[in-house]
Structure 1
Amino acid sequence: MSARAERQRAIVSIWFPNLAIERWKKALAQQGETAEAEKPTALVTETAHGPLIDHVTPEAREAGAQPGMRLADARMLYPALIAVPSDPEGDARLLERMALAAQRWGPWSAPDKPSGIVLDVSGAAHLAGGEAALLEAVEARFAALGYTARTALAPTAAAAWALSHYGLARTIVRDASSAEEAVAPLPVAALRLAPDTLTLLRRLGFRTVRDLLAVPRESLVRRFRDRRFVQGNPLIRLDQLSGRLHDPLVPIVHTPPPQAQRRLMEPLLHTEPLKIVIADLAQDLVRLLEERQTGARRLSLILWRIDGMPIERQVELASPSRDAKHIANLFEERLDIIDAGFGIDVARLVAVWTQSLEEAQADLAGPGGETDAAEIAPLIDRLVTRLGSRAVRRPHPRASHLPERAQSWRAASSQPAEMQYGFGFHRRPLKLLDRAEPIAVIYATPEGLPRRFRWRGALHDIAKVEGPERIAPEWWRERSHVRLRDYYRIEDDRGRRYWIYRSGLIGDGRGDVPDWYLHGLFA
């Protein structure tokens, strides 16, 4: 894009300096816990070296906590500091919704992660009463939603970003030739450079953008000619600032979810004709899903009564589906409790959540044949619809090498994951006790193989044994006195197989004689 075309553009940068904290406080306010939001709190992320602070509340900042600090270091300054896990995915989803909402002021917008929006208002500022009035309206709109926003307008996205983050509030630059002059007093961090590049520039004595502009370009080329990445090359950033180099921006496009709707000639008062309408809506929706090669995971049925009162019912599927009959049957379970009033005249079925689903043949019998695995998902959907999502759960793997922590229970409608039960030497039993039970073991030597054990009052002679498989405690989570485990797969004289372990070793300095436990049963 030429510089002349770039000068005709008007780009608005919207920055939310406290997006994560303000979103967290809004969530607490909705739960009625406003007092908790006033306490010194830090949003942290777990790392290999301990929790790292991402964001802090104003109260925590006054206490000495800063983003980028270790939680342990911050608590040295203020021991009562509260730590809450960060939710970067939730922040990103909120930012996308904000970017879509910002398109009311311009033709397109794009999320500028982690906490900003780039909005193109070229030729549209007069609709809001001018550029100054537009920036004021943007900040007021988001302030009403509970989010602090800083805005700036410039002919390039790079200049708008620099001014919104480091310049005065609501700065407006209309010409590309004056963009460098407006950004010159700002620190070099306004060029969106990588941390290592910023450190190098500061060591070389560059504090502001004006310091860089005063250096001959040939000197900067010799220093940064090997830096190919955009964030590592200040020359590229300077060219984007003035419009000599295009700054690629990818606008966000809202794709409406697949939906089918019926406007009825006569209002419906009874359940039976409504079932027919839902079946027709399911057929129409399935055709739309087939075009997109997706399947529905969450569906919403919206019924409008004659008086304008909407009635909404939602169902969530265990796996993506395009089975119209199955979808209609799920909603039939909830039609008996619908109050139609004077009649329902509009019905809409929306696939709120979809996932990729390609055509697949279940077996050699063709499309009509079904396997047992294909029948599990519809069964889960029916159970969840009747009993509720909390009553039906499925195991989900968790990152831990300790058997009792290797899985957790989640709602059956959540995304299923493949459970790893091990193989060969690391094979795990399918039945794991909720809590390992102590047993009495007889062995030839203290660290030798077990020969006999007593469990629940019965004595078992060990015919076969395999092991040990040593599992160390999770040092980053456990206390220092927790002992390691040696697991054995054993078989008694009646052919019954067990999974037992010895807790600790003699002389490990973490206790007396090791204890034995039975942890699982093999089929």
Structure 2
Amino acid sequence: MDRWSMAMGESGAALDAGPLVLIGDTAHGPRIEAVNRAGAAAGARRGMMLADARTLCPEIATAPSDPAGDLTFLEDLAIWAQRWGPWSALDAPDGLLVDVTSVPHLFGGEKHLLADVHEAFAKRRLSIRVAIAPTAGAAWALAHYGPDGAIVEGHDAIERALADLPVVALRLDEDVVTVLRRLGLKRMGEIATIGRNAIQRRFRNRKSPAANPLIRLDQLLGRVPEPLLPVVPQQMPLVQRRLLEPIRYRALLDRVVADLAADMVRELEGQGQGARRLELQLWRVDGEVVVRRLEMAAATRDPAHIVRLFAARLDDIDAGFGIEMLRLRASWAEPLALEQSDIETAAETRGTSLAACIDRLTVRLGAKAVSRPVPFASYIPERAQRWLPPLEPEPASQGQLAFHARPLKLLDNPEKIAVLYATPDGHPQRFRWRGQVHEVARVEGPERIAPEWWRERGGARLRDYYRIEDGEGRRYWIYRQGIIGDGRGGAPDWYLQGLCA
């Protein structure tokens, strides 16, 4: 919420004066992702549906959340927070873990260290809650549910300091917390009163730490290690041009972008990397910053290719009174060794490389419009393939299955048809599809496909597929879902799923 307020400026401050929530879209409607102080006082909570919050506070204001922006901000904050320790880790969506082992004496003790943390964040206009404890789990619990600025010294003091905290401080899934509350365990200290064996029997099949209270408790007390992923700062290649005179014309802009692309290629070559994502920032004289981003299908160091892709993104640039500075940053780079020219390199120079072609299609059509199908280990036709980015390798775990002949075209969703047949278990003689009646002239089948019991519910029915041809020579791929007397429903249903050549 603090990041949103700073980004919005005066307009954000006006909204933040009253009840305000940031919302994200879900399948069940808008859900609250963040709440300001006035909204929390009105009863709104993170994770609550917006409709429920409006019943408590009809005048509550809303704004869209930005999870990607929050994560980027948190990553930058984690690197900045390493002034208090040798490494830091993310605790998404809104927390940081900093290792301060053997560091507090440099600040005059733990209390002075926490005071320095509060002062530094206050200068950034960020509200925080902090705690110091021997383990990451204990520090998280105290920072979220204990007194602000709590300090626990030594592993022996953890259990006493956290005994009165709620069980949700164990970082458990909501359904596990609900089970513990139904068992009468509302405080962390109450878990030790019933013995480990009783809890182990209840949660013995839960292997995930967030689903097993004993694993979380052992991590919190330091009995078992808790793996953490440190944030490692990386200096991403960045080049810029400060112009003596602002530019307003497209020809001059293209020339500066070409110079930046050449500089970026030299930076990438020196680091043995290639760019996968590039960000071009243009500073206008009036202070507005225009940003254009590119994401390539494969790592590249070709300046001509970079310029060609950006050319399609600069057509709608409004220079205003002029652009005085340009900056090009590679926010995603991958190792790319120096190689001798080969067929692919020569093809890329002529603009016919597969990666170059995919990049140009992506710029023109959109990032989600270019993909390729790959086989997926499933006998169910609509599950037998997955869509991946164009140049991403196929998952090694997917085996190849042997199929009967499949139609050239599958419908997005099987369409229900009305069928007339001589016997319930036989093939159809006539069917109605999209308002037209088709007489069946030839039939091939059935091909029986049983339900995938490891993915389906127990009531899933098997399918019998037929390739049929009507009197006019048109061929279809239909199936009967279920058989008479299978105990999994009434009469079988018929569907048309594909069109054959």
Give the TM-score normalised by structure 1: 0.57
Q: Give the alignment partner of residue 448 of structure 2, picking from 463, 468, 486.
A: 468
CA–CA distance in structure 2, aligned partners of residues 350 and 331 of structure 1 = 13
> What is the match of residue 55 of structure 2?
none
Asked if 1:499 corresponds to 2:499, the answer is: no
CA–CA distance in structure 2, aligned partners of residues 114 and 340 of structure 1 = 37
> What is the match of residue 231 of structure 2?
252
CA–CA distance in structure 1, aligned partners of residues 71 and 281 of structure 2 = 28
CA–CA distance in structure 2, aligned partners of residues 465 and 185 of structure 1 = 70
* Contact 1:421 1:428 (C-alpha < 8 Å) held by counterparts: no
In angstroms, what is the RMSD of aligned CA positions?
A: 6.4
Asked if 1:487 corresponds to 2:465, the answer is: yes
1:355-387 alpha-carbon deviations (Å, 9 max, x no partner): 56678999x84632479x975554454344345
Over 3 Å counting, the alpha-carbon distance change for 1:305 and 1:181 in structure 2 is closer
Over 3 Å counting, the alpha-carbon distance change for 1:127 and 1:400 in structure 2 is farther
Q: How does 1:501-520 map to 2 (within 5 A)?
A: 501-508=479-486, 513-520=491-498
> What is the match of residue 313 of structure 2?
334
Over 3 Å counting, the alpha-carbon distance change for 1:466 and 1:181 in structure 2 is closer
1:406-457 alpha-carbon deviations (Å, 9 max, x no partner): 77989x8997978999752266444112443455667664323557767655
> What is the match of residue 426 of structure 2?
448
If asked which structure has higher relative contact order (CA below 8 Å, sep 6+), I would say 1
* Contact 1:317 1:413 (C-alpha < 8 Å) held by counterparts: no
* Contact 1:441 1:516 (C-alpha < 8 Å) held by counterparts: yes
Over 3 Å counting, the alpha-carbon distance change for 1:471 and 1:93 in structure 2 is farther
* Contact 1:193 1:233 (C-alpha < 8 Å) held by counterparts: no
CA–CA distance in structure 2, aligned partners of residues 436 and 192 of structure 1 = 46
* Contact 1:306 1:345 (C-alpha < 8 Å) held by counterparts: yes
> What is the match of residue 30 of structure 2?
none
CA–CA distance in structure 2, aligned partners of residues 403 and 168 of structure 1 = 56
> What is the match of residue 208 of structure 2?
none
Asked if 1:134 corresponds to 2:116, the answer is: yes
Amino acid at match of 1:485: R
Amino acid at match of 1:514: P
1:315-374 alpha-carbon deviations (Å, 9 max, x no partner): 333454443322211211233433334543432112233456678999x84632479x97
> What is the match of residue 312 of structure 1?
291
Q: Give the alignment partner of residue 171 of structure 1, picking from 134, 150, 158.
A: 150
Amino acid at match of 1:257: M
* Contact 1:502 1:516 (C-alpha < 8 Å) held by counterparts: yes
Larger CA deviation: 258-267 vs 486-495:
486-495
> What is the match of residue 237 of structure 1?
222
Amino acid at match of 1:333: A
> What is the match of residue 54 of structure 2?
none
How far did 1:501 drift?
0.5
Asked if 1:347 corresponds to 2:329, the answer is: no
Unaligned 5+ segments in structure 2 are: 3-11, 28-33, 48-65, 177-187, 198-213
Over 3 Å counting, the alpha-carbon distance change for 1:267 and 1:451 in structure 2 is same
Q: How does 1:75-474 map to 2 (within 5 A)?
A: 96-103=75-82, 108-111=87-90, 116-119=95-98, 120=100, 122=104, 125=107, 130-131=112-113, 133-137=115-119, 145=126, 149-153=128-132, 164=143, 168-172=147-151, 180=156, 184-187=160-163, 202-203=193-194, 237=222, 251-290=230-269, 294-306=273-285, 308-354=287-333, 365=343, 367-369=345-347, 375=353, 377-386=355-364, 392=369, 394=371, 403-404=381-382, 423-425=401-403, 428-437=406-415, 445-449=423-427, 456-462=436-442, 464-465=444-445, 467-471=447-451
Unaligned 5+ segments in structure 1 are: 1-17, 20-28, 45-54, 68-86, 207-228, 241-245
Larger CA deviation: 261-270 vs 436-445:
436-445
> What is the match of residue 213 of structure 1?
none
CA–CA distance in structure 2, aligned partners of residues 350 and 403 of structure 1 = 44
Q: How does 1:40-79 map to 2 (within 5 A)?
A: none
Over 3 Å counting, the alpha-carbon distance change for 1:230 and 1:274 in structure 2 is same
Amino acid at match of 2:163: P
Amino acid at match of 1:137: E
CA–CA distance in structure 1, aligned partners of residues 265 and 90 of structure 2 = 32
Amino acid at match of 1:499: W
Over 3 Å counting, the alpha-carbon distance change for 1:90 and 1:399 in structure 2 is farther
**Secondary structure of the residue that 1:280 maps to in structure 2?**
helix
How many positions carry a matched residue from both structures?
428
How far did 1:301 drift?
1.1
Over 3 Å counting, the alpha-carbon distance change for 1:123 and 1:350 in structure 2 is farther
Give the TM-score normalised by structure 2: 0.59
CA–CA distance in structure 2, aligned partners of residues 323 and 185 of structure 1 = 59
Over 3 Å counting, the alpha-carbon distance change for 1:464 and 1:356 in structure 2 is farther
- What fraction of aligned residue pairs are identical, expressed as a percent? 42
CA–CA distance in structure 1, aligned partners of residues 328 and 386 of structure 2 = 33
Amino acid at match of 2:478: I
CA–CA distance in structure 2, aligned partners of residues 35 and 416 of structure 1 = 48
